[in-house]
Amino acid sequence: MPEWQTDPRVGFYPGTFDPVTFGHLDIIDRASALFDRLLVGVAVNEGKHPLLTLEERLEMMRQEVSKLPHADRIEVLGFDTLLVDAVRKAGAGTVVRGLRSGGDFDFESQLSGALRRLAPEIETVFLLSSEGHRTTASRIVKEIARLDGDISSFVSEDVASLVLSKLGRRAT
């Protein structure tokens, strides 16, 4: 008998969220309506060389999810372990992933297959991005900001201010 208990009514939505975008918040909002509890796992993910520190990303995520209709069902936590270990430790039974395109599906299905081999008790569900968010990616938002473009259609005003500040720019 494993030492962990997972609950299929608890979802776990992992990501680097560097920064959190309206696309991420759309998935979080919709997933929070599907589960009794949704855990948003903010990954350290040093391999991606985040612009924002883990603490900044956690604070930013907490601030943004507090505005959502089901905020009382959402908990934000950081993790620096293998995804399967973070999910088990949190007691979640389902991993939530957002899909923007066929390319996302190919990558996410491989990830889901690996997760299934490591933890057959954990299910993965995919939510398609809403049409208005299918082209939104954190890396694109950062690139637009680096080149002095307007990121207000991708992120909230607070997130934009933080990103621009980290890049040594001011909001226009």
Residues 6+ apart with CB under 8 A from 49: none
- Give the model's pLDDT for residue 172: 59
Q: Which H/E stretch holds residue 33?
A: none
- Give the model's pLDDT for residue 1: 35
* 2: in domain: no
66 is in an annotated binding site: no
* 56: in domain: yes
- Give the model's pLDDT for residue 159: 98
* 171: in domain: no
Please give the average pLDDT of every successive group of 10 residues along the chain, which has 172 residues.
74 98 98 98 90 98 98 98 96 95 84 92 94 90 96 98 92 62
**What CATH number corresponds to the domain at position 124?**
3.40.50.620
Q: ∠ CA(22), CA(47), CA(111), 5° rounding?
A: 70
Q: ∠ CA(55), CA(58), CA(63), 5° rounding?
A: 125
Residues 137 and 151 sit within 8 Å (Cβ to Cβ): no
Task: For residue 123, give its domain range.
Answer: 7-166
146 is in an annotated binding site: no
Query: Total domain count for the chain?
Result: 1
37 is in an annotated binding site: no
* 35: in domain: yes
- Residues catalogued as catalytic: 24, 48, 100, 138
* 32: in domain: yes
